[in-house]
Amino acid sequence: MPSSHVHDPLALAVVSSHSTSEGVVSYLRCDCGAWEVRTAHMVAVTRPRGDVRRG
Ligand SMILES: [Zn+2]
Q: What is the pLDDT of residues 37-47, one digit of tens each?
A: 988 887 888 77
Tell me the CA–centroid distance for residue 19 and ligand 1, in Å.
25
The confidence score (pLDDT) of residue 41 equals: 81
* pLDDT per position as a tens digit, 2-47: 567 888 878 889 999 999 888 899 999 998 889 989 888 878 887 7
Predicted local distance difference test score (pLDDT) of residue 16: 94
- The torsion region of residue 22 among left (phi > 0), alpha (psi -120 to 50) and beta comes to alpha
Judge whether 46 and 37 are in contact, CB under 8 Å: yes
What is residue 14's predicted lDDT score, i.e. its pLDDT? 92
7 CA → ligand 1 middle, Å: 4
pTM exceeding the 0.75 threshold for the entire prediction: no
Provide the pLDDT for residue 15: 94
